[in-house]
Structure formats: structure tokens, C-alpha cells
Amino acid sequence: MTQLWNFGGGIHPPENKSQSSSRPIRPAGLPARLILPLQQHIGEPARCIVEPGQKVLKGEVIAQVGNGMGVPVHAPTSGIVQRISLEPVPHPSGMSDTCVVLIPDGEERWCELVPQPEYRKLERDKVLALIRQAGIVGLGGAGFPTNIKLRPSVDRKVDTLILNGAECEPYITADDMTMREKADQVMAGLRIMAWLLRPSRVVIGIEENKPEAIAALRQAAEGSKTEIAVIPTIYPSGGEKQLIQILTGQEVPSGGIPADIGVMCQNIGTAVAVADAILQGKPLISRVMTATGEALAEPGNFEVLVGTPASHLLTCAGVSKQHMSRLVLGGPMMGYTLQNTDTPLIKTSNCVIAASASELPAPAPEQPCIRCGLCAEACPMELLPQQLFWHAKATEFEKAEHLNLFDCIECGACSYVCPSSIPLVQYYRFAKGEIRLQRAEQQKSDRARVRFEARQQRLDREQQEKDQRRKDRALAAVKAQEQKTADAQATVQDGAVTNERSGKSALVEQALARKKAKAAAASAERTEPATQLSKKAAPSETFTPEHAEKIAVAETAPSMEELEQQLTQVQIKLEKMQSMLEDARSGQAPNVDKLERAVDKNIERVRRAQRAIDDAQQQAVPANGNAEPALSRSND
């Protein structure tokens, strides 16, 4: 016999399970339309890949996910996509989200299925990919993607695999009936998961109030090493952490996950979905749901297509709208009231309660806390609900988090035993939501700060580089000036001149002489006659620096073609500036004055260029006129 341990706290609310467990599982049939939210689980929402008016087959992918944490969404039946719009989705706030609205055609035409009965011949990554492609998430809680859960990190070896068949919450019997009628599928899915994880121990935990399910699983598990552990009936023994403590005696650390202690827990419905996906190739498009409550004439469990409106399931169970006071999605302890009966039932939906006014009466008004301590006695996580309540009500979120607020599983046991009718769980949910919001804002602020600091560092670096370049240029200029001064001083020391100023003039003379020699070598034919004429005109004249400068200027004077090219360039620029000025005046631009000054400057440049051409032409005429008499005299 399997050894069992106890956990602290817990309560014994009325079970109310016999109403829905007396009938076998029935098909819910096709509704008039299916509403498929793009996000039905924890993680990244799926991206719609169909368009309105498109025909789809049963099991076809209609929304895909990227590489993040998420799974695709499939068409539960064949039909036509009517629209993609915002529709009410299952949420305590009654919020709306993006959904694909599908109109069934009644033909139930499947897409191509690829079963893998020989999955043991495949690689484990391939089997995990098939589970992900089938859109399977945990069907007993928040809907964590199963493929990620079945791929623990290398440092977290799973020694114990637990299949959760406790189903401790009142009214809900979906897992109970699944174990009774689909025990072979449950065991098949469990074997696949055990093959993936290779644990040393596999155990199924079932509450003792389910004798038929216990017998069915024991028969299906004959010849295997799977343990069937019958645990006491107490709420919330079906909680993941509580069931682990009952079956292993280990406690999941605060803020940790079961894999931290080498344990993994999966749900009964998840095992069936894994078996269907691998052995038959079917994606997760339906699940067993409980429809119960005093307002239903035929309560029971139904095989419901994902996306079926709650109103359709209620109709199948014979709802009496006159007697229905509240419609609760989930159980009475952890569920919430639905405001719209057309809200779709999704992968994580397991129960709908159509309750009468006497069955689930409105809660009594909240009274002041009397500090009785019953909430602390009932808490299965051994927290301090009273202190958490005070801190949450006073918005002292840091203090609440310090008291392990996020270890609360929101089972509702504290609210159930509170004599003051304080909705404790609602306060805890409020505090958790605010803390998550503050964390998100802090992360956003941190990212903005990092971006600002990176930008500031870049600007500082660029400014430093600019300053360094400026310093380098200034240093180079100082060095050049020092070199010139040194050269002049060296000339003085050589005795060629008597002072530094004369030394600088000597340097200028040397530069002009070098420039003259270079020009003479390039145009020897033109330089030689000019030199002869200069010698005839002034044979005894002393050569001075002023003469060298005049000769260099004369030899480097621009030609007529260069002057005409300069005139053309300044005229083109003048026309461009005048055009810009006219555009600025017509558009009343603020830079009209600046453009007017630029036009005036260009006009002056055109005039100077024209005068330079005129002067060059005037100098050319006397030169040509004097050349002929000189030649004639020389011939004589």
C-alpha cells in the first residue's frame, strides 16, 4: 500500500457530485456557431492565420504561435469562418478578446491525421513537437503548455510522475467520469508521458469518494508498475502542491515548482488528450465538461467542442431559465460568475453550474474581521490569511508579498470558513494583480532607463571624440607654428638675415623661388622669352623678394579659359540662389533675408569674375600690339 502523508488545513464542503455522475458522458453536439479565443492558456496568444469566408476542416490549424510559450488553435469542426472580432471570453472581469467565429457546416470533414502508434521509435523532441502541434495544455488548472512542462531542464530530473485524479472541488465530476469510461486512454496517455520523462515512480492519486473510477483504473493498470493511490476526501487535496505532499511527503518550496523537488503532476484530461494526439493524430478540439445545478433538468457530463457557447451546453442539459439565479464557470470554490451565457467554453473550462437562488445564494454583507483565526486553520498553504487581508486592503503590497502572498492557491477555503463573510480571495487576487502591474511598470521603466543611459553614453562618447579631434587639430597647428618659428630662427642663426622677421621673409622668398623654378620647368618655352625681355628691359636691376613675388603671381595667374569657367560657375550659382529666393518669398519662408544676402554676394562675385575677364583681355591687347614693332625692329 502506498504511504500517505497529510497537509495542514483543508475543509469538507458538501460534495454535490451525485447529480452529475449518475449519467454517462454524452456528446453535446454541434452548436450554431463556435467562438474560438486566440488565447486559451498561459503564454503567448496565437496568431490568426485564416480570413473571414474561408472554409476550414475539422482539426485544421486556424491560429498559430511563434517560438514563444504557446500552442496553436484548431477548428473543432468543418465550416466557414464568419468573422474575426472581439467577443466575450471566460474571465472574472467579463472582458472581451480577439476570437475566430466559426459557422459549422455539419459535414464533420476531418483534415489529414497522422497517428504515431510507434512513437517509441521517434525521438523525444519529435513527440514533444507533436504534443505542441496538437494544441495540448493542462486541462486541470491555468492551462500551461504541456510540451514545455514535459521538457524539464537538465538540472531538474523528474523522479515521480503523478496523475491527478483527485477532483476535490464540489459539483465537478468530469475527471471522475473520464476515469470510469476512458481508463484505457488515461493509461495510454500516462505511458506516453512516462516514456518522455523516464521517472522511477508513476502514481495516480484518486480521492476515496470515487470507487468506480478507482476500480476502472486498477483494471487498466494491471501488469504495469503504476500505483493507484486512494487518498482521503478533503478539499483541496486536488491542488497540485497538496497532492504532491500527500503522495511524497515533500513540500514544494515557496516560489518554486514541483520540478524543483523532482516531481511532476499532470491532469486526467491532459493524459487523454496526449493519447489522442499521439496514437490517433487528433488535436485538442474537445473535452469532457460537467453541467450541473438545480436549474438543469438533466445534469451530467458532456463531450463539448472547444468554443461552444455556454448557452448551448445548458440547453443540452435542459436548463430552466426561470429557476437559474447564477451561472458559474468552474466549481463553487474557485469558479466565477458568467455575465453572458454566450461566453465560449475553452480548453481549461471543466464545469458550468446553473444554480438556483437557494443553491448558491448571494453572499452575506462583509463584516469586520473578528480575529477568530479560522482562516489560518483552514489554509492548506499554512499562510496567514488575516494579515494578508489587512495588507491587501491597506494596499501594503510589499508587506503582503513578504508574507508569501503568491503562495496562495486561491482555493477559497479561508473565505468559506470566515464568519464575517469577508471575500478574502478577492482581496488576494486584487493584491496579486496590482503587484504584477507594478512589476510590469518597473520593468518598462528599467528598460527606458537602460535606453536613456545607453543614449547618454553614446552622446558623451561622440562629444569626447569631437573634443579630442579639436584638441588634435589645435596641437597640430601649434606644432606647425613652432616649426615655422624654429625654421626662421635657424635662418637667423645661419647669418643669412639679421632678425626673425627677416628670417620669415627669407623663407617666403625661398618658397617663391621654388615655385618659380617649378613653373619654369613646366613651361620652359613661355618662361624663356619672358626672362630675356625682363633682362633687356632692366639688365642692372637688383632681384628682390618683391620681384620674386610679382613674377610668381604673374606666372600663376589664371588663363582666360579658367576665368570664363569661373564666371559660368558663379552665374549658375546666382541663378540657383535667385530661384530659391523666389520660392522662399512665395512660401513666406523665414529665411528670406538670408537668401537675399546670399544673392547679393553672388551678384558681386559675378561682377568680380567679369571684371577679371575684362582686365585679362585689356592686358592681352597691348602685349600683342608691342610684340610686332619689337620683332620688326629686331629684324631691321
* DSSP string across 530-581: HHHHHHHH-TTPPP-HHHHHHHHHHHTPPPHHHHHHHHHHHHHHHHHHHHHH
Q: Where does residue 80 fall: left (phi above 0), alpha (psi -120 to 50 degrees), or beta otherwise?
A: beta
Q: Which pLDDT score, from 0 to 100, does residue 623 have?
A: 46
Read off the pLDDT of residues 162-176 as tens digits, 9 standing for 90 and up. Answer: 999 999 999 999 999
How many whole angstroms separate alpha carbon 140 and alpha carbon 413?
Answer: 19
**Residue 533 banded pLDDT, cuts 50, 70, 90:** very low
Reply yes or no on whether the pLDDT at 373 is more than 60.
yes
Reply yes or no on whether the pLDDT at 629 is more than 50.
no
Least confident range of 169-178, 549-558, 580-589, 625-634: 625-634
Mean pLDDT value of segment 288-294: 97
**Residue 556 banded pLDDT, cuts 50, 70, 90:** low
Q: Which pLDDT score, from 0 to 100, does residue 543 have?
A: 47
For the chain, percent of residues with pLDDT exceeding 70:
88
Provide DSSP, 335-391: -EE-S-TTPBP-TT--EEEEE-TTTSPPPPPP-------HHHHH-TT---HHHHHHH
Q: In this predicted model, which residue has the larger pLDDT, 503 or 480?
A: 480
116: how many CB neighbours lie within 10 A of its CB?
17
Reply yes or no on whether the pLDDT at 456 is more than 50.
yes
Least confident range of 31-40, 501-510, 560-569: 501-510
**Residue 628 banded pLDDT, cuts 50, 70, 90:** very low
pTM comes to 0.73
Reply yes or no on whether the pLDDT at 437 is more than 80.
yes
Mean pLDDT value of segment 34-43: 89
Reply yes or no on whether the pLDDT at 507 is more than 80.
no
Q: Which pLDDT score, from 0 to 100, does residue 550 have?
A: 52
Reply yes or no on whether the pLDDT at 86 is more than 50.
yes
Reply yes or no on whether the pLDDT at 308 is more than 90.
yes
Is residue 170 within 8 A of residue 196, CB to CB? The reply is no
How many whole angstroms separate alpha carbon 288 and alpha carbon 290?
Answer: 7
Q: Which pLDDT score, from 0 to 100, does residue 577 have?
A: 83
Name the 3-class secondary structure at 272.
Answer: helix
Q: Which pLDDT score, from 0 to 100, does residue 578 have?
A: 86
Q: In this predicted model, which residue has the larger pLDDT, 165 or 516?
A: 165
**Residue 131 banded pLDDT, cuts 50, 70, 90:** very high
